């Protein structure tokens, strides 16, 4: 049994009468690619918001690398090595691609309370930024303003920003959202290349991608984790088929 990197214990969040997260206990092992799936309204977004530090749970706790991080703000989680990409693209639109990356690299390269020396003289920040851009295939658009890129490139940059913070765990919130089949294929290859080097928590609607990438899958339904297992186990699970996969097949 390998070490657990991220764990939630009986996590609970309710909005009035609606229990959006109902005693969710989830364990992501170091080095694995763990997918989280579930139909719309299953509570994925609420759970992610609590993992990322945007929402405070009503009960239960979140542990990361042996530390209780339940009350940690988003930036403290990031500093511990917990990076995320956003479902709805969240970049710095008035910066170039390279500047976006350089700012992400800067966050893990010493103090940013420096007021005198020009950032542009810190070549090592930009070298590292270019390295990451190459690894996600964006080096050709490095000097372009982010606003001028296409949606697929935005998704790649989302991923690159998360990578630049030297994370232990990558929370990928629907990295394939809204992109075409060809770009989707490229993204799957990209994520496959990250496997083993990073621990991945992948939230995704694209079942084909999930079953190709994930070592283990957890299924969320009505705020509860109804099953966790390998792709094959999840495919074979009757409750999951009825609740979720069957619904997809009928749709």
Partner 1 sequence: MNHLRRHGWLLATLAVALSLPQLAALCGQDFYVSFASRLLIWALLASSLNLLVGMGGMVSLGHAAYFGAGAYVVGILSVEAPGWSSALLVWPLAVALSALLAVVIGAVCLRTRGVYFIMITLAFAQMLFYIFTSLTPYGGDDGLSLAKRLTLPGLAMAGDATFYYVVLAIFAACLTALGRLQASRFGRVLAGIKDNEERMESLGYATFRFKLVAYIIAGALAGLAGALMANQNAFVSPNMMSWNESGIALVMVILGGLGSLWGGLAGAAAFLVLEEVLTGFTTHWQIVLGLILLAVVFFAPRGIAGLFAKQP
Per CB under 8 A, residues contacting partner 1 are 52, 54, 73-76, 78-79, 83-84, 86, 90-95, 99, 102-104, 106-108, 111-120, 122, 161, 164-165
Three-state SS for 188?
helix
What is the smallest separation between the CB atom of 70 and partner 1, expressed in angstroms?
17
Residue 208's CB is within 10 A of a number of other CB atoms, namely: 11
Quick one: 18 or 74, whose CB is closer to partner 1? 74
Residue 21 C-beta: closest distance to partner 1, Å = 20
Shortest CB 62 distance to partner 1, Å: 16
**Per-position b or e across 29-54, b if 16+ CB within 10 A of its CB:** bebbbbbbbbbeebbbbbbbbbbbbe
Q: Which residues contact 117 (CB under 8 A, 6 or more apart)?
A: none
C-beta contacts of 72-78 below 8 A and 24+ residues apart:
77/52, 77/53, 78/107, 78/165, 78/167
- The nearest distance, CB 143 to partner 1, in angstroms, is 13
Our CB check for partner 1 shows the closer of 163 and 219 to be 163
Complex with partner 1: residue 75 or 134, whichever CB lies closer: 75
Looking at the Cβ atoms of 2 and 115, the one nearer to partner 1 is: 115
């Amino acid at each position: 049994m390998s070490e657990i990197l991220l764990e939630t214990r009986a996590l609970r969040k309710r909005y009035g009468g609606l229990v959006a997260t109902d005693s969710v206990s989830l364990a992501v092992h170091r080095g694995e690619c763990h997918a989280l799936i579930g139909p719309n309204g299953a509570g994925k977004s609420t759970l992610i918001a609590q993992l990322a530090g945007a929402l405070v749970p009503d009960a239960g706790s979140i542990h990361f690398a042996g530390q209780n991080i339940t009350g940690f703000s988003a930036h403290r989680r990031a500093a511990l090595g917990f990076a995320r990409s956003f479902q709805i693209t969240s970049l710095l639109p008035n910066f170039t691609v390279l500047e976006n990356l350089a700012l992400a690299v800067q966050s893990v390269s010493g103090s940013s309370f420096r007021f005198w020396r020009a950032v542009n003289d810190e070549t090592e920040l930009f070298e590292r930024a270019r390295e990451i851009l190459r690894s996600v295939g964006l080096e050709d658009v490095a000097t372009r303003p982010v606003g001028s890129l296409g949606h697929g490139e935005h998704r790649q940059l989302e991923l690159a920003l998360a990578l630049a913070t030297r994370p232990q765990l990558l929370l990928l919130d629907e990295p394939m959202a809204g992109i075409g089949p060809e770009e989707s294929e490229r993204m799957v290859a990209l994520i496959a290349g990250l496997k083993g080097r990073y621990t991945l928590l992948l939230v995704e609607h694209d079942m084909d991608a999930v079953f190709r990438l994930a070592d283990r899958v957890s299924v969320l339904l009505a705020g509860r984790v109804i099953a966790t297992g390998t792709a094959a186990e999840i495919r074979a699970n009757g409750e999951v088929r009825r609740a979720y996969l069957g619904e997809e097949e009928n749709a």
